[in-house]
Amino acid sequence: MKNKLLIGFVLLIALGGIIALSVERSDDTNTTTSIDIIHVATVINDGASQQTYSSEVATGTTALDVLLSVAQANTFEVQTTVYDFGTMVDSINGVGSETSSNKFWIYYINDASATVGASSYAVVDGDTILWKFEEAKM
C-alpha cells in the first residue's frame, strides 16, 4: 500500500511539473514587442518652393532616415555622401550642393539649427525637420 501511495505521489508531482511548464511556455509565446510610433513633419525648402510631409515613424528613427523615407514615399531622389563625421545630404529632388556659391542642404529641428548630423539625431514626437537649401553661414 505504501508503494502505491508513493508512486501516486510521484506521479502527482510529475503531472504538476508538466502543467506548470505548459503554462509558462504559453505565457512566453503570447508576448509581443511594442514599437512606439511618433509623428514628425518634414519640410523641404529648395529656395524656390516649399513642401511639407507628415510621417509616422518608430522611436529612434534619425532625421536622415525620415528624409529618405519621405523621398521614397513621394518618389523623389535624395543623394548623400558618407564621411567619417556622418552623412551629408548632397541633393534633394534634383537640387544639389553648389560649392561655388557656398549653398548646401542644411537642416533645422523645430526652427533651431541642428547641433548634430542628421544621421545622428533621433527624432522625437512632434518634431518639425526643415531641410533648407541655403548659403552656409561660417
**pLDDT 10s digits, 29-66:** 556 667 899 999 999 999 999 999 999 999 999 999 99
How much is the pTM?
A: 0.74
State mean pLDDT over 70-85.
Answer: 96
What values do phi and psi take at 125, rounded to 5?
-55, 130
pLDDT-derived band at 100, boundaries 50, 70, 90:
confident
Which residues are registered as beta bridge partners of 54? Answer: 41
Phi-psi region of 27 (alpha: psi -120 to 50; beta: other; left: phi over 0): alpha
In this structure, the strands spanning 95-96 and 78-83 are unpaired
Check residue 18 and give its pLDDT. 45
Mean per-residue pLDDT, 102-112:
96
Return the pLDDT at 110: 98
Please, which residues bridge with residue 81 across strands?
88
According to the model, what pLDDT value does residue 24 have?
46
Residue reference for cell 511618433: 38
Between CA 67 and CA 62 the distance in angstroms is 9
